[in-house]
A = this chain, B = another copy of it.
């Protein structure tokens, strides 16, 4: 049960609500975010919600039977719009394209990439400075110094930054230079990291775990929300299946279904979702057609020379062509 509190609720009224809930054997939990205050009450007892709805300080009340609550569309019917400032928004009708290299490699690479994005009217650049790598002997990214250089160049060109954060301790240092924190697939259930990102007033994009269910993804989002941060995006990036013809199996069903289950924007990652350059485009267009609120794609001036995963990376020409087709596809979606 979600109890939305009135903006000016008194401490006394709040305690009153909590007391009633506890009497009814619920476990109440207060949640305060950028946008509002809520009490989440978990429990299984039958209750007449109208009675709680009538208490002083209660704005509205909703039953949500899902394991997740605040991220559910059962409660908040209007889709969430993520505002990155300077007119860059994602969700609730606004389509977001995030593009850039797998790893941030050098100042020259950043400049080249930004130039390509600006020419194509793309506003959000992706890139890793902390890279999760299966092997301890692989390149792990340029770290905070790389991020600072990137930020300076991005800022000058009106480009927003999305980049992966791997642990709670990195958040503070990264905070000034990041527009969206990305939680990688391997950290999708790193609950301490999610808790910590819930305490930050910057958008967070959570990737679905490598074999995560949609319910788990939504509950991971609930971690962030219930810690105080409503600005969340979800990302479908392919799941692990028995099929080895491609790296991951992009779950188009998830795009369609997440749009029904949650008010949060849903982003498609076709680069990881199939992992083969020549098929990134059809998967990206399909995801858009299925209702995705945006895509995140890997682009590099010379994919073969990319620090990692060049195999799934588009070159500039392929990317420009994709951006154009995405825009036409999105137009059709709006029309239908």
Give A contacts to B, CB under 8 Å. Answer: 27, 29, 40, 42, 67-69, 132-137, 166-169, 186-187, 189-193, 195, 209-211, 213-216, 219-220, 222-223, 226-227, 238-246, 249-257, 259-260, 273-274, 276, 278-279, 282-283, 285-291, 325, 328-329, 332, 335-336
Residues of the B chain whose Cβ atoms lie less than 8 Å from the Cβ of A335? 328
Known: A136-B222, A239-B242, A256-B286. 10 other contacts (CB 8 A): A27-B137, A134-B219, A190-B190, A213-B242, A239-B243, A244-B244, A253-B279, A257-B276, A260-B279, A328-B336
* Chain B residues with CB below 8 A from A278, complex form: 260
Query: When A168-B167, A256-B274, A279-B253 are in contact, do A240 and B211 touch as well, CB less than 8 Å?
Result: yes
Bound together, the chains give a CA A50 to CA B86 distance in angstroms of 62
Which residues on the B side are within 8 Å of A328 (C-beta)?
Answer: 332, 335-336
Residue pair A252, B286 in contact (C-beta under 8 Å): yes
Q: Answer whether A67 and B135 are a contact pair too, CB < 8 Å, given A240-B211, A288-B289, A336-B328.
A: yes
Complex CA–CA separation, A289 to B191 (angstroms): 36
Q: Which chain B residues lie closer than 8 Å to A195 at the CB level?
A: 136
Nearest CB in chain B: distance from A219 CB, A? 5
Contact B245 A214 (CB under 8 A): yes
Question: Do B213 and A211 have beta carbons less than 8 Å apart?
Answer: no
Interchain nearest-CB distance for A279 vs B (Å): 4
In the bound complex, residues from chain B placing their C-beta under 8 Å from that of A186 are 189-191
Q: Are B260 and A253 in contact (CB under 8 A)?
A: no
Q: Choose among B190, B215, B216, B242 the residue that contacts A211 (Cβ–Cβ < 8 A).
A: B242
Is A336 a contact of B325 with CB atoms below 8 Å? yes
* Selected contact of A253 from candidates B169, B187, B249, B289, CB within 8 Å: B249
Find the B residue at minimum CB distance from A140. B191
Establish whether residues B256 and A213, one from each chain, have CB atoms under 8 Å apart when the complex forms. Answer: no
Question: 6 shortest A-B CB distances, which residue pairs?
Answer: A211-B211, A286-B286, A256-B282, A286-B290, A289-B289, A186-B189
Inside 8 A of A288's CB, which chain B residues have their CB? 289
CB-CB < 8 A to A256: which residues of B?
274, 279, 282-283, 286
Interchain CB contact (< 8 A) of A239 among B168, B241, B282, B289 = B241
Query: Are the C-beta atoms of A215 and B332 separated by less than 8 Å?
Result: no
Whether B42 and A137, one on each chain, are in contact in the complex, defined by CB atoms closer than 8 angstroms, is yes
Residue of B nearest to A259 (CB): B282
A45 to B62, CA, bound (A): 36
Q: Are B245 and A242 in contact, CB atoms less than 8 angstroms apart?
A: no
Residues of B within 8 A of A134 (CB): 67, 189, 215-216, 219-220
The residues of B that contact A191 with a CB separation of less than 8 Å are 132-133, 136, 166, 186
Q: A279-B257, A290-B285 are in contact. Are A135 and B219 (CB under 8 A)?
A: yes
Does A249 contact B239, Cβ atoms closer than 8 Å? yes
Q: Which of A132, A215, A253: most chain B Cβ within 10 A? A: A253
Residues on B with beta carbons closer than 8 Å to the beta carbon of A291: 282
* Distance from A140 Cβ to chain B, minimum over Cβ atoms (Å): 8
